[in-house]
Amino acid sequence: MTSFAAKVFCRVERLCHHLPVALNTFLVFSITGEVSYLVLVEAPLEADQKKTVWSAWWKVVHLLAQYFMLGNICWNALLFLKTSPSIRGVFLGGEGMGQGWRYCYTCETHTPPRCSHCYDCKVCVLRRDHHCVFFGQCVGFRNYRYFLSCLLFMWSGLLYATLMNAEVFIVILKEGVTVHSVLLLLIPWIMLVSGQVSARAFAFAFIADTCVVGFLLVSAFFFFHLFLLFRGQTTREWYSSRRPYSLGLLGNLRHTLGTRWYLCWLSPLIPSAVPGDGIHFEVTGSLEPYR
């Protein structure tokens, strides 16, 4: 009985681990599909413009921009999940050991400064920032670039989707701010279950609400991490107001995003830097590679 309960618990834990990723994937593709429908079917609103050359080019440009952002979100998220931020595969020890090193009794190894153990990932993470519940993985030195790029394109994509859904809010509120329109925007699920609105109206209201709420949340995360990037801090260091590893603005950008930091935003396929320099700084704390 105990063995069966342990197996059930492990399966539930595994399901809960992947649930945020599945939910985020569903929301991203739902928003993309809804915005594509708005571009292809609903816009432009004027009937005499729907079959013009301008309308065709307008739709092509919007779809290209939309799927460029979607591709970058998915590819950066995939690389973030596939890139382990742990200390596995990194040589720790030798002459580089010095002040600030600690011994992790769980992993049974010495760890450099800024490295800490994650009890969710069950491993020590190199320059651990935080454990991201939305991805189910820690944000550390090796995958921070993909995390930040994913946030950038999620922010720009949600801004674009919110602007495209402005017409949805206009249609819902066209007869004024009524109890029906307010409830449709605030609790669309209740309105659908109670039979007050159609499935089509619910879908548009739900996705429009999701775009606004998602944009606000992602904006907070993105600009906070951009602030930390400029200061050369992790989230853990920000709590303690320490900046012992700041290399200056340009040095922080090169250290986190690579020597091609000005290009890496365009695509995750663009090589970032020589990884040895970054690992050397993280493990030894020497600033020499960036001077």
As annotated, the active-site residues are 132
Helix (H, G, I), strand (E, B) or coil at 164: helix
Beta bridge partners of 110: 103
How many Å apart are CA 87 and CA 123, to the nearest integer?
8
- Give the number of other Cβ atoms within 10 Å of residue 125's Cβ: 26
**Contact in structure between 257 and 264 (CB atoms under 8 Å):** yes
- Cα 82 to chain centroid distance, Å, stands at 14
Q: Assign residue 136 a region: left if phi > 0, alpha if psi is -120 to 50, beta otherwise?
A: left
How many Å apart are CA 159 and CA 129, to the nearest integer?
26
Beta bridge partners of 86: 125
129 phi/psi in degrees, rounded to 5: -95, -60
- Burial letters for 185-203: b for 16+ Cβ neighbours within 10 Å, e otherwise? beebeebbeeeebeeebbb
What is the DSSP code string of 75-122?
A: HHHHHHHHS--BSTTS---GGG--TT-EEETTTTEEE-TT-EEETTTT
